[in-house]
Chain A
Amino acid sequence: DTAVSQTPKYLVTQMGNDKSIKCEQNLGHDTMYWYKQDSKKFLKIMFSYNNKELIINETVPNRFSPKSPDKAHLNLHINSLELGDSAVYFCASSQGEGLYYEQYFGPGTRLTVT
């Protein structure tokens, strides 16, 4: 059984388009995250949701918006895509807010903006 799943795995689109990436976890975790991994492999937090409430919103353009219909899902919507948005986007979840909880990552979505 897949713990954290993301769809699609690959996404190729043109500048200016709007796209969504879906994430689902079946671990019963309370907290979900979106990370961005750039071309140099650097991973950075974008958002996290705890019980459907946005907890963190780092310095991310407002073209990016997370949407959580329920505790098991955290989707990422991106409007007016730009070339610089090309990256791998990872969804993750953890059991809670405690420092000792590891985060389980999805397989990643490679977004290419042309």
Chain B
Amino acid sequence: DAGVIQSPRHEVTEMGQEVTLRCKPISGHNSLFWYRQTMMRGLELLIYFNNNVPIDDSGMPEDRFSAKMPNASFSTLKIQPSEPRDSAVYFCASSFESGPNYEQYFGPGTRLTVT
């Protein structure tokens, strides 16, 4: 299995620009998670999808952030407009929620720098 795939791996953009991060979960997994990691705030859950439906978006910082999951094999996290404080590493993770299986598998992350 290829694991969780994220693109791009690095993104540098200017304040005010739109940024789109992409994620392909592990085939067969039914849940997808977007996290943000910074030195100051640690690991934060932004949004959680189950069967392509957003279940918990309470971690989305503000309306500038939006996430979609149009099908079981693809999700996007969009920031519009971006701000310097959005600079962080963004992780996508997926899991197969069934029985005792709740472990999440993480992608390599997208390092976002907003100047």
The answer to whether A and B interact is no
